[in-house]
């Protein structure tokens, strides 16, 4: 247990020593843009969730435009957008079918043509602004205003981020998130990728009244440099109906929420990156790095197999002083592909950072379970007839600090109360089939969605007590040791494509990415230093419980204690196993 929190909640990477390389505030942004006096066609493309009023008031109105084109004016009617995407969204409250719509699908082709004609007819300056502005005209100055995923979710909760083309800001945040996840973000990510190399200026729209701006060249150079060094994403913390107090106490988190259930710390779909110019920060979605520099970040093997997909997820699940997670199962690979359009599934594991007295992990079925009776009991629990007797059907394994429970897709599981779990898994994000939520409500006072039928079609009924004990419960295998260090294999199971290695050390340990992405966390000890044997990157300090990424392009690196070690430190490292043959 640490005595003083050094957990870095705003990690960043310096990409320039000059603060002025990041314009700060609307006046500096306008000053920099006014240097482009020759720009007659200015396109201000926006991501979902951008607050347009400050942008119009502080920037567009002061650019001296003869004509301003609003991208929203060319959208299809809301009912047409709804009808076009209904089949992909489905009627399920959580799941849709993941496709990659094109941004053009949201727009009226005739209105786009008219906008282009209007722009061409004006001899003075024309500004196009909003989501889809780049469809209205070709610009000689292209600006992209971006927002991080977490900030968009906060705006959805505040009623400030309607879906693209709809007037639905007052809908439940879960419904807004679902539509964004399955539709809007996919279309906009694709458009961002298409425009990335052409963008002249990027605006950080996370603080609408206090924006930051960097050049396209600074963005490209900064992201390229990240692929040559270890770095951390910006973690975020959220409350949940089962959440605990461990992270609040150990990470010095604010007292406001009733608990902190989750910390997403290596999930680029959700987490952000901070680029620093001197002391100034520019924050952007972590997914931008994955989409624009997949080969040096992920390695050729992962890129060949999965494309520009970040396959490893680290996050915390805190039930210390809280309750059990929902009893759940993740879909099998063929099922998630056929039902939801996802190419790989959420194989996962629970690494115990800490555990209270009596902590346990529910994992796998008991021997000789009556399948029909269990199915009937799940349905009766869902209907409110009786609570589901989980321990009658599911093993409850004692859990202690540094245990590692492996959870291949199809295995029924959940973490019990009074545990602090580092979840190491593959990254299909939201595809969890809840079977039983212990009869409680979500923080919004409503029942959380349960997907019994999906779950029953994916439970592997032969993963029972004896098999689980032999294959999934803290199966630790010594790998190697040297002066002041030892390496252990802790998982994951052969059914899963992620490997994990734990190193205990009091002196320097040599690592090598061997051309593939590494993700690590310091799971024991106050601080360690990651270094390059050839001084290819500056020393990188990691504190207890922090997670960090070592890109495939880094190659050899070392990790040592930050101070003289009187007891061993430990890291857990995850990487994707290379395909055989």
What is the percentage of the chain residues whose pLDDT exceeds 90? 90
Over residues 31-41, mean pLDDT = 93
Window from 307-311, 438-442, 548-552, 573-577 with minimum mean pLDDT: 438-442
The CA distance from 343 to 364, in Å, is 25
The CA distance from 272 to 47, in Å, is 15
Over residues 314-319, mean pLDDT = 97
Answer whether residue 333 shows pLDDT above 80: yes
Over residues 489-514, mean pLDDT = 94
Q: Which residues of 439-473 are buried (b: 16+ CB within 10 A; e: fewer)?
A: eeeeeeeeebebbbebbbebbbeebbbeebeebbb
What is residue 342's predicted lDDT score, i.e. its pLDDT? 86
Identify which of 480, 466, 230 has the alpha carbon closest to the alpha carbon of residue 365: 466
- Which of 449 and 467 is assigned the larger pLDDT? 467
Give all domains of the chain, ordered by start, each with its CATH number: 13-226 (3.40.50), 236-471 (2.60.120.10), 477-576 (2.60.120.10)
Beta-bridge partner residues of 277: 16, 280
Q: Among all chains, which residue has been given the structure tokens 């044997």?
A: 533
* Cis amide linkage into residue 492, ω under 30° from 0: yes
Q: What is the mean pLDDT of the chain?
A: 95
Residue 448: pLDDT band (50, 70, 90) is confident
Residue 1: pLDDT band (50, 70, 90) is very low
Does residue 244 contact residue 316 with C-beta atoms inside 8 Å?
no
Beta-bridge partner residues of 345: none
Over residues 377-385, mean pLDDT = 93
pLDDT in tens, 190-222: 999 999 999 999 999 999 999 999 999 999 999
What is residue 581's predicted lDDT score, i.e. its pLDDT? 54
Answer whether residue 3 shows pLDDT above 60: no
pLDDT in tens, 502-520: 999 999 999 999 999 999 9
**DSSP-derived 3-state class of residue 53:** helix
Answer whether residue 468 shows pLDDT above 50: yes
Q: What is the DSSP string of 380-443?
A: HHHTTSS---HHHHEEEEE--TT-EEEE-TT--EEE-SSEEEEEEE----S--EEEE-TT-B-T
Sign of CA dihedral 408, 415, 251, 543: negative
What is residue 341's predicted lDDT score, i.e. its pLDDT? 87
What is residue 4's predicted lDDT score, i.e. its pLDDT? 61
Answer whether residue 492 shows pLDDT above 90: no
Per the document, the length of the chain is 581
- HSE-CB of 543 using CA atoms within 13 angstroms: 13
What is residue 443's predicted lDDT score, i.e. its pLDDT? 82
For strands 419-425 and 433-436, give the pairing. unpaired
What is residue 2's predicted lDDT score, i.e. its pLDDT? 43
Which element (helix H / strand E) includes 16?
Answer: strand 13-16
**pTM, full prediction:** 0.96
């Amino acid at each position: 247990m640490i005595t003083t929190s050094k957990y870095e909640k705003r990690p960043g990477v310096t990409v320039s020593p000059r603060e002025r390389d990041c314009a700060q505030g609307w006046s500096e942004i306008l000053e920099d843009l006014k240097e482009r006096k020759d720009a007659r066609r200015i396109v201000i493309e926006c991501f979902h969730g951008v607050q347009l009023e400050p942008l119009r008031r502080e920037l567009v109105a002061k650019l001296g435009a003869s004509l301003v084109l609003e991208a929203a004016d060319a959208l299809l009617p809301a009912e047409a957008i709804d009808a076009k995407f209904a089949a992909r969204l489905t009627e399920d409250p959580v799941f849709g079918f993941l496709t990659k719509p094109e941004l053009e699908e949201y727009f009226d082709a005739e209105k786009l043509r008219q906008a282009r004609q209007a722009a061409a007819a004006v001899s003075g300056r024309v500004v196009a602004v909003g989501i889809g502005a780049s469809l209205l005209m070709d610009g000689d100055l292209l600006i992209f205003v971006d927002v991080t995923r977490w900030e968009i979710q906060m705006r959805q909760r505040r009623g400030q981020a309607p879906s693209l083309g709809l007037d639905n800001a007052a809908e439940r945040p879960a419904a807004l998130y679902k539509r964004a996840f399955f539709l809007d973000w996919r279309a906009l990510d694709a458009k961002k990728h298409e425009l990335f190399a052409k963008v002249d200026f990027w605006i950080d729209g996370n603080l609408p009244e206090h924006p930051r701006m960097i050049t396209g060249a600074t963005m490209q150079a900064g992201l390229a440099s990240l692929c040559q060094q270890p770095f951390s994403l910006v973690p975020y913390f959220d409350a949940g109906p089962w959440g605990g107090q461990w992270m609040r106490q150990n990470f010095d988190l604010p007292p406001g929420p009733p608990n902190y259930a989750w910390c997403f710390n290596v999930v680029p779909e959700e987490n952000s990156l901070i680029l620093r110019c001197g002391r100034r920060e520019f924050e952007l979605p972590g997914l931008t790095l994955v989409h624009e520099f997949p080969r040096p970040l992920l390695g050729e093997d992962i890129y060949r197999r999965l494309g520009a997909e970040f396959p490893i997820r680290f996050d915390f699940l805190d039930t210390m002083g809280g309750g059990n997670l929902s009893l759940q199962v993740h879909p099998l690979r063929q099922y998630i592909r056929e039902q939801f359009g996802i190419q790989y599934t959420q194989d996962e594991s629970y690494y115990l950072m800490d555990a209270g007295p009596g902590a346990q992990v529910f994992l796998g079925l008991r021997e000789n379970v009556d399948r029909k009776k269990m199915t009937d009991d799940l349905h009766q629990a869902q209907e409110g007839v009786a609570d589901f007797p989980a321990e009658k059907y599911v093993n409850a394994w004692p859990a202690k600090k540094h245990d590692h429970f492996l959870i291949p897709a199809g295995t029924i599981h959940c973490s019990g109360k009074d545990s602090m779990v580092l979840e190491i898994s593959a990254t299909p994000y939201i595809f969890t089939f809840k079977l039983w939520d212990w009869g409680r409500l979500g923080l919004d006072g409503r029942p959380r969605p349960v997907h019994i039928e999906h779950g029953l079609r994916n439970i592997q009924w032969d993963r029972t007590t004896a098999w689980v004990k032999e294959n999934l419960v803290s199966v630790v295998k010594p790998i190697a040791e040297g002066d002041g260090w030892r390496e252990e294999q802790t998982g994951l199971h052969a059914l899963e494509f992620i490997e994990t290695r734990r190193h205990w050390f009091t002196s320097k340990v040599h690592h090598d990415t061997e051309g593939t992405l590494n993700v690590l966390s310091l799971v024991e000890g106050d601080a360690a230093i990651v270094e390059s044997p050839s001084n290819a990157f500056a020393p990188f300090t990691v504190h207890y419980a922090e997670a960090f990424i070592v890109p495939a392009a880094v190659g050899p690196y070392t990790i040592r204690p930050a101070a003289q070690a009187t007891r061993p430190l430990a890291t857990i490292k995850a990487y994707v196993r290379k395909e055989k043959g």
